[in-house]
Amino acid sequence: HQALGGRPPFPIETMLRIHCLQLWWNLSDPAMEEELHERPLYRRFVGLEGAARMPDETTILRFRHLLEKHQLAPQVLATINSGLAQQGLMLRTGTVVDATIIAAPSSTKNKDGERDPEMHQTKKGNQWHFGMKAHIGADADSGLVHSVIGTAANVNDVTQAARLLHGQECDAWGDAGYQGVDKREGLAHSKTRWHVAMRPGKRKALDPERELHQLYEKVERLKASVRAKVEHPFRVVKQQFGYAKVRYRGLAKNTARLTMLFAMSNLWMVRRQLLGVRG
C-alpha cells in the first residue's frame, strides 16, 4: 500500500503477464518468482527488464487470489473470444460439448489426513479415477472454447449440457454420454438441434451388409469428425500446458485456473492466424 508508505504496486498488466507465464509453464508461486530472477526473456515479456525489484511469491499469490475473488477468469475468456470473433475466428453457429477428468491426489497422507472433500471418484471404462471434471463448450467450426464448468468427477456429463451452450448456436454435438440431452430441463423447448453419438453397443451391432445400417455408420462418422474439434483444447491444456492434475484444493480455484488455461489455449490454437494478421 503506497499510501501507507509501502512499496509501489506493480502494474496490473505486468501481474497478468506473470500469471499467464505461470499457466503456460505450470509453475508454482515460488518457482515463478525464481524464474523471473533467472530468465531475462521472462522479465522482458512482463515489462520488468532492468527493474530494481521483482514481485515475490506472496505478491504473485495475492494477485491470483484477486482474480479468483472477483471471478475474473470468465471475463478474460469472454474478452479474448470477443476479439477472436471480431476477426472471424469464431463463427458461433454450432457448439461441441465434452468433459475430461482432471486427477486429484487420492492419498490421505497430508496435514488434514483426508482427501479433498470437493473431489470425487468415478469409473471410466474399467478404471477408477479421483478428481474433478472440466466440462467445456467449444465452437464447432474452430474448436475454440467459449464455456467452462468445473464439477466433481462423479457428475454426469449430460447434466451440464445446457450451461455449456451460449444460446446462439443452431446445432450442438456430443458423445454418447449426452444421450437424452434434448429431453432434459432447460433444453426440452430449445431450438438447438442435437447430434449425439450412438451408444457404442448399438453401433457395434450395426450390420455392414444392410444399406440402412451403412447410412447410420456414415452419419456416426460425420458426427465424430465434428466432435473431434473438442479434443484439441483438451490436448493443449493437458499436454502443452501440463495441467493433467489439479494444483489446488477445492473446485473454485481449479475451475478458475482451468478457465484461464482454456482462454490461453484459444490464443495458442489460432496463433498462426493472429501472427498473420499482425504481420
Q: What CA–CA distance (Å, rounded) separates 92 from 140?
A: 8
- Do 32 and 139 share a domain, yes or no? no
Domain boundary among 22, 40, 69: 69
- Do 22 and 135 share a domain, yes or no? no
pLDDT above 60: residue 1? no
- Do 135 and 63 share a domain, yes or no? no
Domain of 50?
A: 2-69
Of 131-140, 179-188, 239-248, the range with the lowest mean pLDDT is: 179-188
Which sign does the torsion angle of CA 25, 26, 32, 34 carry? negative
Domain boundary among 11, 37, 69: 69
The stretch 40-47 carries a mean pLDDT of: 97
**pLDDT per residue as tens digits for the range 165-179:** 999 999 999 999 999
- Do 93 and 34 share a domain, yes or no? no
The stretch 197-216 carries a mean pLDDT of: 94
- Do 37 and 89 share a domain, yes or no? no
- Do 78 and 145 share a domain, yes or no? yes
Question: b or e along 251-268 (b: 16 or more beta carbons within 10 Å of the residue's beta carbon)?
Answer: bebbbbbbbbbbbbbbeb
**pLDDT per residue as tens digits for the range 209-263:** 999 999 999 999 999 999 999 999 999 999 999 999 999 999 999 999 999 999 9
- Do 25 and 137 share a domain, yes or no? no
- Do 135 and 19 share a domain, yes or no? no
Domain boundary among 53, 69, 85: 69
Joined grid coordinates for residue 6: 509501502
Please provide the DSSP assignment of the chain as one string. Answer: -GGGT-PPPPPHHHHHHHHHHHHHHT--HHHHHHHHHH-HHHHHHHT-TT-S----HHHHHHHHHHHHHTT-HHHHHHHHHHHHHHTTS---SEEEEEEEEEE------STTSS--TT-EEEEETTEEEEEEEEEEEEETTT--EEEEEEEETTS-GGGGHHHH--S--SEEEE-GGGTTGGGSTTTTT--PEEEEPPPHHHHHT--TTSHHHHHHHHHHHHHHHHHGGGHHHHHIIIIIS--SB--SSSHHHHHHHHHHHHHHHHHHHTHHHHHHHH-
- Choose between 279 and 233: higher pLDDT: 233
- Do 93 and 228 share a domain, yes or no? yes
Confidence band of 279 (pLDDT split at 50, 70, 90):
low
**pLDDT per residue as tens digits for the range 53-91:** 999 999 999 999 999 999 999 999 999 999 999 999 988
Q: What CA–CA distance (Å, rounded) separates 210 from 212?
A: 6
- Total domains in the fold of the chain: 2
